[in-house]
Structure 1
Amino acid sequence: MAGMSIGGIASGLDTETIINQLISVERNSQTLLKQKLTQQNEVVSALQGLNARAASLLTGAAALADPQAWTKVGATSSSSSVAVSTSNATGSGSLTFTVVQTASKASYTTAPVLAADAPQGEQRFTITSAKPGATPVDVVATSGAPADLAKAINAAGAGVVATTIQDASGAQRLLVTSATSGEQGDFSFGGAQPPALAAQLTPPRDAALDLGAGTFVRSATNTFPDLMAGVSVTISKVEDAPVTVTAAPDTAAVAKRVGGMVASLGVVLSEIADQTRSSVDDPGLLAGNSLLRGLQQQLVSAVSTAVPGATLKDVGIELTRQGTVTFDEAAFSAYAAKEPDRAKALTTAFSSALAGVARRASDSTTGTISLAVTSGQSTARDLTTRIEAWDTRLELRRASLERTYAALEVALQKNQSQSSWLAGALAGLPTYSS
């Protein structure tokens, strides 16, 4: 019966050890397959990592190959009190102005009142915004005490914020401030029992810039959205001295992106060199891989021949004798400021060449590395199937050997029994003397 072994009862042999040794010999073929699978998985993993790096290179290069990469505009301000920001700005130019005034919120206070002197009973009044067409908001306070008035005003949602302030005598004032700045942020009290406002602490005021020649720009807040196309300006204080805001192509941002692309290229080249090294003592996992060697040559060629008759050194990109690529951001920025069109042409051509090489390598459907990964995964699946088949084969072989040795023991035991009977029979025969 399968899985059962008679341990050399008749033969005196250690049949279990013999079977294990025979199976171990036959398992060598499976062991070799497992070693091949391990190596294959390592190769696939290495190719996947390189493919991911090539895809990253493609993303950066394709973005810079797009002429629109050079249309991004950055903005600067000549004053630290004037901040600038851009959003989809495309035009260049400058604007000079003085900051006439900053925006403020309307703020009013009532006369001080002691708790004992505050009007008693329910107080009804309205708050009306200065915005055109605003509807009065009804407010009902439980009493005329500043704290009760503040609570009712804040609950009314009238676009104002109320609080109380207390002086040394213990008397309280109601302080009411608009929630928004600008002239239209002003408000007024009305109705039957409005709080008596005693003083205006700050007026409602728009921020204003003087562009010269009697031209003013106003904003309800200290931010002027799209003061120039795609350029917003935020002021923090009055500036009598002229302030200049300049919008120009953001070559610094382009330089950072070029640097990132060259860094990605360096990672790919370094990875290929490491994986394909032909050292006798420590060869790379993909040593001798012609696909990667070809990719390496194509990438290097993109640096040296991307622009016929020109050198990328002008824009800070240089191929070293060691086969690496370096980028000088300062050189790029200087050349881009001096020759913007030429810098754009060189960078775009180089990026386009790199993108083409990276796409042919990493495209998920047709990329050479992607296809190598797919092929390697198929090989790994085939090896796994063959290893699993060996498990079944070895189980069957063990069962066969156990049956064979069990049958051998039974036969030997039977033979021994017959020999014992024959010996006994012969011993019982009469003996005759001559």
Structure 2
Amino acid sequence: MALGIDGLVSGLDTTSLIDALISAEAGTQRILSTKVSTSQKLVTDLQTLNSSVAALAANATSWSTPDKLRSVTASSSASSVAVTADATATPGSLTFTVDRLATPQISVSAAMTSWSGGSTVTLVDAAGTTTEVAAGASLADLAANINAAGTGVTATLVASGVDSGTGDPKYRLQLNGATGADGAFSFYDGTAADVTGGTASDLLAAPGAATVSTAQDAAVTLWAGTSAAQEITSTSNAFADLLPGVDITVSAVESSPVTLSVARSTATATNAATNLVTGVNAILTSIRTKSAVTTTTGTDGSPAVSAGSFTGDGQVRALSAALSRAVMDPVDGESPSTIGITITRTGSIEFDATKFAAALAADPAKTQGMLADIAARIADVGDAASNKIDGTITTRITSKQSSITDLQSQIADWDDRLATRRSRLESVYASMETALSALQSQSSWLSAQLSTTTSGSST
């Protein structure tokens, strides 16, 4: 327990003396604290570096094969024809007309207040397959049973006024089939056997019934008006691979020829090259900055030299060299400079978009192949450094964090040790003051005795 002992007898500033002694003995703890601060700064910088390298590796992986670098643009001369094309599409053009849109069959029955037919109705699809459906006790039952039959035909009751004689509400049964010619159907009052025997009533041919929309496939005609004219159909309004890798979706009939155009695009490859060079440069620049030794002037006017967090770090230096090699090493014996990627005297990577575009135009496959190889090498280097399990930077961070934890434990031990030392010193100085107080009291007593003795002798 701390004691207020300053100058009780001796007049000494014992608190300051103890503080000075503790400060001297705490030198090791201060060294440990400095190590913690330095290590924490290094861990923070390594984590930032690791995140940047991981992001670079992910981007590089997405461009690591020639297929991932190919891109095309596709368009049509008609706004009603939407076009999509993947990287496998071949540049070229095609003309066609849009003759029909795909539509479903929509039919309605005659208006009725209740079901007056037999106990069974039969649906017949475009292939002639029959499906019997129980009519049920009401029009609502009939609609529900049709929907549950799983034929692709859906039924809805639509209000159609009231019966003029009874005033009861009237309904039509609306039947919707699947889009395309294969979605056509017939609807009979009777069993499948009745349909086959020709004795079933065609409910869609009854007075008041109608087919509102006929089931049909969409159709386009290639090279319309020529001897090579060819009709292509689709059960929907989408035509997959009208050209290899090119899909179209039509939304209106176009009797005038529509021109479909596919052209090679350099956007994906150029964007990949730009981003790879930018990403690598950002990492190399950060490493150089944090590896630099700086000289400043101290408060006393003398020069002060300070190292960066990566100064002398062999592992980080090796990563920097590996990234530079990944970008600039030859690919199949050819320098990346042939496609516009070069390195400067300071170690920065530069990208010449004009030279890259020229190389891409002259030999797309070769240029894309070189860039893909460079991307794959960058991805390998990045993954080796930043892999979450065994990446060299990742494991370095884990090791440093463990070291920091150990140092903090040592600092905590020193706190306990210094507290104990302070307690002992306070006890020693308190004992000293007590002893001095006792001596002072004894001295005063002796002085009093001497004074008494002297007075007696004089008498």
| TM-score of Structure 1 vs Structure 2, range by shorter chain | 0.7 to 0.9
Match of residue 52 from structure 2:
53
Structure 2: segments with no counterpart, 5+ residues: 191-200, 297-304
Match of residue 41 from structure 1:
40
User: How far 1:46 sits from its partner (Å)?
Assistant: 0.7
Alignment partners' CA distance in 2, 1:43 and 1:265: 21
- Say yes or no: does 1:396 pair with 2:390: no
Q: Is 1:306–1:349's contact at 8 Å kept on the other side of the alignment? A: no
Q: Which moved more, 1:335-344 or 1:396-405?
A: 335-344
User: How far 1:328 sits from its partner (Å)?
Assistant: 5.1
Question: Deviations along 1:189-244, whole A, 9 cap, x unmatched?
Answer: 33379685532222111112334646433222112345555544322222334456
Match of residue 107 from structure 1:
106
Question: Deviations along 1:13-42, whole A, 9 cap, x unmatched?
Answer: 554454345434444542343233122211
Do the aligned partners of residues 102 and 75 (structure 1) sit closer, same or farther apart at CA in structure 2, a change above 3 Å counting?
farther
RMSD: 4.3
Q: Is 2:65–2:369's contact at 8 Å kept on the other side of the alignment? A: no
How do residues 85-234 of structure 1 correspond to structure 2 at under 5 angstroms? 85=84, 90=88, 92=90, 97-110=96-109, 119-120=113-114, 126=121, 128=123, 130=125, 132=127, 133=129, 135-140=131-136, 142=138, 152=144, 156=148, 159-160=153-154, 162=156, 164=158, 174=172, 176-178=174-176, 180-191=178-189, 198-211=209-222, 213=228, 215-227=230-242, 231-234=246-249
Alignment partners' CA distance in 2, 1:127 and 1:258: 64
Tell me the TM-score normalised to structure 2 length. 0.73
Q: Aligned residue pairs: how many?
A: 420
Alignment partners' CA distance in 2, 1:122 and 1:188: 19
Secondary structure of 1:336's match?
helix
Structure 2 letter corresponding to 1:164: V
How do residues 297-336 of structure 1 correspond to structure 2 at under 5 angstroms? 297-300=321-324, 302-307=326-331, 310-319=334-343, 323-327=347-351, 332-336=356-360
Q: Is 1:127–1:139's contact at 8 Å kept on the other side of the alignment? A: no
Question: Deviations along 1:73-94, whole A, 9 cap, x unmatched?
Answer: 657243443334457x757476
Do the aligned partners of residues 308 and 232 (structure 1) sit closer, same or farther apart at CA in structure 2, a change above 3 Å counting?
closer
Alignment partners' CA distance in 2, 1:26 and 1:56: 47
Match of residue 80 from structure 2:
81
Structure 1: segments with no counterpart, 5+ residues: none
Match of residue 194 from structure 2:
none
Structure 2 letter corresponding to 1:98: T
Structure 1 letter corresponding to 2:210: A
Match of residue 286 from structure 1:
309
Q: Is 2:120–2:134's contact at 8 Å kept on the other side of the alignment? A: yes
Structure 2 letter corresponding to 1:348: A
User: How far 1:4 sits from its partner (Å)?
Assistant: 4.1
Q: Which moved more, 1:305-314 or 1:213-222?
A: 305-314
Do the aligned partners of residues 150 and 366 (structure 1) sit closer, same or farther apart at CA in structure 2, a change above 3 Å counting?
closer
Q: Which moved more, 1:318-327 or 1:407-416?
A: 318-327
> Identity rate of aligned residues, in percent?
32
- Say yes or no: does 1:261 pair with 2:261: no
